[in-house]
A and B are shown apart, each in its own frame.
Chain A
Amino acid sequence: MNTAAFERVKLARDSQRPTGLDYIRNIFDGFIELHGDRRFGDDPAIVGGIAMLGNLPVTVIAIEKGHTAKERSFCNFGAPNPEGYRKALRLMKQAEKFGRPVICFVDTSGAYCGVGAEKRGQGQAIAENLMEMSTLCVPIISVLIGEGGSGGALALAVADRVWMLQNSVYSVISPEGCASILWKNAAKAETAASCLKLTAEDAKSLGVIEKILSEKEIGKSEFYDRIRALLAKEIEELTEEPELVGNRYDRFRSIGRTAVVKE
């Protein structure tokens, strides 16, 4: 049981898994990348732009981990800095202005832990995304494709629909971090992984996500075709939803309702 959850963590971290850019290139047509947060710089850990989903223009935002050592180092191993989250928010606001749905692919061990990131307000950048995404007037779908590491992942996942790949994980803290804090022993990460309930099945039963995506033929064209079709259908339904923003509020409002006792 313990191993099962931790095996998922290892699978989710596997550098051979498709990355954000693989999803963008294979699901959408004519992706045009748009850079920069207009405030400080451009964060290669987050890739964003406009693309066509079938015949519908959409805004696509992905956390990119890279495959090769060079790519992984270039995009900081998928650990975004504040300017990455601010770029994402800029593109989402742009999407709202032009009535485009937003699709996010999330894959990060967490927002970057660095002196520069703190100086530039990592916490504030994430907080602003959470706040602004909660009322964005266009449909948002977030797909967790690998690691869903805490606030750094949530900053792109305040969405109308949140889906997880079968072997992706979503957690408030890494199993290693949890084990070293609670049991002063990072080697107990396997136990922590099991306790944290971080698998796609766990997230679904906790009501945190709507859908688990099968990894059958992962990386092949059939795999991407299937996700494209699911996204297109869901966007169509969300576009017709008059209470989109209200429903999004209720979605997050009701998660974990059973986790508290009211006397």
Chain B
Amino acid sequence: MALLNFLKPKNQLEEGGRTAAPVQRDDGEPEKNCPNCHKDIPLSRLWANDLVCPCGHHFRMKARQRIRMIADKGSFRELFSGVKSDNPLNFPGYKDKVETVRAASGETEAVVCGTAMIGKQKCCLFVMEPYFMMGSMGSAVGEKITLLFEYAVKYRLPVVGFTVSGGARMQEGLLSLMQMAKTSAAVKRHSDAGLLYIAVLTDPTTGGVTASFAMEADIILAEPNATVGFAGARVIEQTTKKALPDGFQKAEFVLEHGFVDSIAPRGGQKKLLAELLKMHDGRFCL
């Protein structure tokens, strides 16, 4: 399923930052090549514009950077940072892989959770980390998301979540699959408590995360051109032996078919989230 997203053509993965290293310009300023307009953009310019190219292309973003972009300054309080994956199946190579990724990403797991203020509106916030095994969901990710929804029920808070994921983490086998059921049950309790959940799908949101908490929000937003789907595009092509339609599994395609509420470019996300949170803060209930 999910994981099969990794089977996408290599050129679709390169913009992910795993391979797209910035190149040094003659005058010393590093640049990054945009996979959309193919121009070299100075990194400083990208950073100043929340990693959005002047052409509109949204580069992948680290979880902490996203939190800085979305949360009111200094308002983020991290929760459950001590929850980490073990190697429950003794899957060969998994332990080393996780250690390498931890060192490279500076994160302990593929999601960061906490509370924050967004435009002075208090909420629970989770942001998945594309640079940690492409946001794959193992037991620790499932546990942290579940704990966050349970926390949100306890303190009657809305949840805002940014998803990015290749799907369930196969190195934890069935236990990863079970996280889909566990997180869904936690979202349901939060929903039944009358609380708001807004998901923002970022590139890529696929597999087991699409088939669980990404698609279970009251309001589902997606970043422009983000890949959003269940099965990997190449697997579908191999299964059906047909060429895929243009823009297949892009956020705009998913919007057209009725599975997201709106496309939310990065520049306007904070304002939009703040407005939505404000309209649900309970003062206007009949």
Q: Does residue A167 face the partner (Cβ distance < 8 Å to B)?
A: no
Contact A115 B170 (CB under 8 A): no
Query: Which listed residue, A118, A202, A252, A262, touches B236 by the CB 8 Å rule?
Result: A118
Contact A131 B187 (CB under 8 A): yes
Chain A contributes a number of interface residues (CB within 8 A of B) equal to 57
Q: Does residue B20 face the partner (Cβ distance < 8 Å to A)?
A: no
CA distance A113 to B234 in the complex (A): 10
**B-side contacts of A181, CB under 8 Å:** 3-4, 6-7, 170
Contact B180 A171 (CB under 8 A): no
**A-side contacts of B83, CB under 8 Å:** 260-263
What is the size category of the interface that chain B forms with chain A? 35 or more
* Closest A residue to B256 using CB positions: A119
Contact A195 B184 (CB under 8 A): no
* Closest B residue to A177 using CB positions: B4
CA distance A180 to B146 in the complex (A): 31
Contact A118 B143 (CB under 8 A): no
Q: Does residue A34 face the partner (Cβ distance < 8 Å to B)?
A: no
Q: Does residue B212 face the partner (Cβ distance < 8 Å to A)?
A: yes
Contact with A along B132-173 (1 / 0, CB 8 A): 000000111001001000000000000000000000101011
Q: Does residue A123 face the partner (Cβ distance < 8 Å to B)?
A: yes
Contact B4 A154 (CB under 8 A): no
Main secondary structure of the interface of B (DSSP, over half): helix
**Contacts A181-B7, A198-B173 known; A134 to B181 CB distance under 8 Å?**
yes
Q: Does residue B178 face the partner (Cβ distance < 8 Å to A)?
A: yes
Q: Does residue A206 face the partner (Cβ distance < 8 Å to B)?
A: yes
Query: Which listed residue, B138, B172, B191, B229, touches A118 by the CB 8 Å rule?
Result: B229
CA distance A170 to B173 in the complex (A): 9
**Contacts A150-B168, A178-B170, A260-B140 known; A127 to B215 CB distance under 8 Å?**
yes
Quick one: which of A141-164 are within 8 Å of B by CB?
150-152, 154-155, 157-158
**B-side contacts of A171, CB under 8 Å:** 173-174, 177
CA distance A76 to B4 in the complex (A): 20
A121-B259, A131-B184, A206-B175 known; 11 new pairs, CB 8 Å cut-off, are A126-B212, A132-B188, A134-B188, A172-B3, A173-B1, A173-B4, A196-B173, A206-B173, A255-B175, A255-B178, A260-B86
Ordered nearest first, which 10 A-B pairs have the shortest CB separation?
A: A263-B82, A123-B210, A130-B184, A134-B185, A259-B139, A123-B230, A259-B88, A113-B231, A256-B175, A126-B211
Q: What residues of chain B have their CB less than 8 Å away from a CB belonging to chain A?
A: 1-4, 6-7, 82-86, 88-89, 91-93, 138-140, 143, 146, 168, 170, 172-182, 184-185, 187-189, 191-192, 206-208, 210-216, 229-232, 235-236, 239-240, 242, 244-245, 248-249, 257-259
